[in-house]
Protein backbone atom coordinates (compact mmCIF):
# COMPACT_ATOMS: atom_id res chain seq x y z
CA UNK A 1 0.00 0.00 0.00
CA UNK A 2 1.30 3.48 -0.80
CA UNK A 3 2.08 6.02 1.90
CA UNK A 4 -0.82 8.27 0.80
CA UNK A 5 -3.28 5.36 0.98
CA UNK A 6 -2.05 4.44 4.47
CA UNK A 7 -2.21 8.07 5.68
CA UNK A 8 -5.70 8.57 4.22
CA UNK A 9 -7.01 5.37 5.83
CA UNK A 10 -5.45 6.26 9.19
CA UNK A 11 -7.09 9.69 9.25
CA UNK A 12 -10.50 8.42 8.07
CA UNK A 13 -10.42 5.66 10.71
CA UNK A 14 -9.71 8.15 13.51
CA UNK A 15 -12.01 11.09 12.79
CA UNK A 16 -15.75 11.44 13.42
CA UNK A 17 -17.70 10.37 10.30
CA UNK A 18 -18.72 13.89 9.26
CA UNK A 19 -15.14 15.22 9.58
CA UNK A 20 -13.74 12.18 7.75
CA UNK A 21 -15.23 13.30 4.41
CA UNK A 22 -12.19 14.50 2.46
CA UNK A 23 -10.24 13.87 -0.73
CA UNK A 24 -6.60 12.88 -0.99
CA UNK A 25 -4.42 13.00 -4.07
CA UNK A 26 -0.81 13.18 -5.24
CA UNK A 27 0.71 16.37 -6.56
CA UNK A 28 4.24 17.33 -7.75
CA UNK A 29 5.41 13.75 -8.34
CA UNK A 30 9.07 13.05 -9.07
CA UNK A 31 10.76 9.75 -9.91
CA UNK A 32 14.27 9.50 -8.46
CA UNK A 33 16.91 6.90 -9.36
CA UNK A 34 18.14 5.18 -6.20
CA UNK A 35 19.58 1.69 -6.69
CA UNK A 36 20.00 -0.51 -3.66
CA UNK A 37 20.09 -4.30 -3.19
CA UNK A 38 17.59 -5.22 -0.46
CA UNK A 39 18.28 -8.95 -0.15
CA UNK A 40 16.06 -11.87 -1.16
CA UNK A 41 16.66 -10.87 -4.80
CA UNK A 42 14.87 -7.57 -4.33
CA UNK A 43 16.21 -4.31 -5.74
CA UNK A 44 15.09 -0.79 -5.01
CA UNK A 45 15.54 0.92 -8.37
CA UNK A 46 14.24 4.28 -7.21
CA UNK A 47 11.43 6.02 -5.46
CA UNK A 48 8.53 8.33 -6.14
CA UNK A 49 8.52 11.54 -4.10
CA UNK A 50 5.26 13.47 -4.06
CA UNK A 51 3.07 15.85 -2.14
CA UNK A 52 0.13 14.05 -0.58
CA UNK A 53 -2.68 16.60 -0.45
CA UNK A 54 -5.52 16.07 2.03
CA UNK A 55 -8.43 18.34 1.09
CA UNK A 56 -11.53 19.13 3.11
CA UNK A 57 -13.91 21.32 1.07
CA UNK A 58 -16.31 21.72 3.99
CA UNK A 59 -14.66 20.87 7.30
CA UNK A 60 -17.01 21.24 10.32
CA UNK A 61 -14.52 22.95 12.66
CA UNK A 62 -17.20 23.57 15.34
CA UNK A 63 -17.92 19.84 15.42
CA UNK A 64 -14.29 18.67 15.25
CA UNK A 65 -11.22 20.66 16.25
CA UNK A 66 -8.85 20.95 13.23
CA UNK A 67 -6.01 20.31 15.69
CA UNK A 68 -7.20 16.71 15.76
CA UNK A 69 -6.35 16.37 12.06
CA UNK A 70 -2.96 17.98 12.59
CA UNK A 71 -2.24 15.63 15.48
CA UNK A 72 -3.28 12.59 13.42
CA UNK A 73 -0.94 13.60 10.59
CA UNK A 74 1.96 14.01 13.03
CA UNK A 75 1.17 10.72 14.78
CA UNK A 76 1.05 8.89 11.45
CA UNK A 77 4.37 10.42 10.37
CA UNK A 78 5.97 9.46 13.67
CA UNK A 79 4.61 5.91 13.86
CA UNK A 80 4.01 4.79 10.26
CA UNK A 81 6.00 6.76 7.67
CA UNK A 82 8.75 4.75 6.00
CA UNK A 83 12.48 5.23 6.68
CA UNK A 84 12.99 7.09 3.39
CA UNK A 85 11.22 10.13 4.88
CA UNK A 86 14.01 10.52 7.43
CA UNK A 87 16.76 9.47 5.02
CA UNK A 88 15.84 12.22 2.53
CA UNK A 89 14.99 14.79 5.23
CA UNK A 90 11.57 15.64 3.81
CA UNK A 91 9.94 18.92 4.89
CA UNK A 92 7.30 19.25 7.59
CA UNK A 93 3.63 19.27 6.51
CA UNK A 94 2.02 22.52 5.38
CA UNK A 95 -1.50 23.74 6.12
CA UNK A 96 -3.70 26.12 4.14
CA UNK A 97 -7.17 26.92 5.43
CA UNK A 98 -9.97 29.35 4.72
CA UNK A 99 -13.03 29.95 6.87
CA UNK A 100 -16.23 29.64 4.83
CA UNK A 101 -18.79 30.58 7.49
CA UNK A 102 -19.27 30.33 11.25
CA UNK A 103 -19.14 26.53 11.21
CA UNK A 104 -17.09 25.34 8.23
CA UNK A 105 -13.75 25.85 6.53
CA UNK A 106 -11.68 24.63 3.61
CA UNK A 107 -8.56 22.85 4.84
CA UNK A 108 -5.64 21.65 2.73
CA UNK A 109 -2.77 19.73 4.30
CA UNK A 110 0.26 18.93 2.16
CA UNK A 111 2.62 16.18 3.31
CA UNK A 112 5.69 15.26 1.24
CA UNK A 113 5.98 11.46 1.06
CA UNK A 114 8.23 8.87 -0.57
CA UNK A 115 7.24 5.46 -1.93
CA UNK A 116 10.06 3.09 -2.91
CA UNK A 117 9.99 1.35 -6.29
CA UNK A 118 11.12 -2.22 -5.56
CA UNK A 119 11.40 -5.06 -8.06
CA UNK A 120 12.24 -8.76 -7.81
CA UNK A 121 12.86 -11.41 -10.47
CA UNK A 122 9.83 -13.52 -11.28
CA UNK A 123 8.78 -15.91 -14.05
CA UNK A 124 6.85 -14.02 -16.71
CA UNK A 125 7.12 -10.66 -14.95
CA UNK A 126 6.26 -7.59 -17.05
CA UNK A 127 9.55 -5.73 -16.46
CA UNK A 128 12.65 -6.69 -18.48
CA UNK A 129 15.98 -6.00 -16.72
CA UNK A 130 19.37 -7.57 -17.42
CA UNK A 131 17.79 -10.35 -19.51
CA UNK A 132 15.41 -11.37 -16.71
CA UNK A 133 11.72 -10.84 -16.03
CA UNK A 134 10.96 -8.72 -12.96
CA UNK A 135 7.84 -7.47 -11.21
CA UNK A 136 7.00 -4.77 -8.68
CA UNK A 137 6.92 -6.06 -5.09
CA UNK A 138 6.35 -4.80 -1.59
CA UNK A 139 9.67 -5.03 0.23
CA UNK A 140 10.04 -8.26 2.15
CA UNK A 141 12.37 -8.25 5.15
CA UNK A 142 13.41 -11.30 7.15
CA UNK A 143 14.57 -10.91 10.73
CA UNK A 144 16.63 -13.40 12.72
CA UNK A 145 14.66 -14.90 15.58
CA UNK A 146 17.63 -16.66 17.11
CA UNK A 147 21.39 -16.19 17.04
CA UNK A 148 24.53 -17.66 18.51
CA UNK A 149 27.33 -15.35 19.51
CA UNK A 150 30.85 -16.71 19.35
CA UNK A 151 33.49 -15.42 21.72
CA UNK A 152 37.13 -16.11 22.39
CA UNK A 153 38.39 -19.68 22.04
CA UNK A 154 35.19 -20.83 20.30
CA UNK A 155 32.82 -20.34 23.25
CA UNK A 156 29.26 -19.59 22.16
CA UNK A 157 25.90 -18.80 23.65
CA UNK A 158 22.45 -17.62 22.57
CA UNK A 159 21.93 -13.91 22.01
CA UNK A 160 19.45 -12.33 24.42
CA UNK A 161 16.63 -10.21 23.07
CA UNK A 162 16.50 -6.56 24.04
CA UNK A 163 13.51 -7.37 26.28
CA UNK A 164 15.45 -10.15 28.06
CA UNK A 165 18.49 -7.90 28.58
CA UNK A 166 16.45 -5.04 30.06
CA UNK A 167 14.65 -7.44 32.42
CA UNK A 168 17.99 -8.45 33.93
CA UNK A 169 18.86 -4.87 34.92
pLDDT over 80 at 71, yes or no: yes
Q: Name the pLDDT band for 40 (thresholds 50, 70, 90).
A: confident
Q: Name the pLDDT band for 141 (thresholds 50, 70, 90).
A: low
Question: Given this model, what pLDDT does residue 139 score?
Answer: 72
Q: Which of 79, 76, 73, 84 is nearest to 32 (CA)?
A: 84
Pairwise CA distance, residues 55 & 72, whole Å: 15
Write down the domain spans for the chain.
3-143
Cα 93 to chain centroid, rounded: 14
Torsion of CA 23, 29, 34, 37, to 10 degrees: 30
Using one digit for the tens of pLDDT, what is the confidence trace for 82-128?
988 998 999 999 999 999 999 999 999 999 999 999 999 999 999 99
Share of the chain above pLDDT 70, in %: 85
Amino acid sequence: MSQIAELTKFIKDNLPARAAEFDSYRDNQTIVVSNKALGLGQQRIGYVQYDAVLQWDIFPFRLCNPGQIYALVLIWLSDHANDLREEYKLPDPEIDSETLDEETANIFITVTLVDPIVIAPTDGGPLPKNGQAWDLVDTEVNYAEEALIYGLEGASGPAASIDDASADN
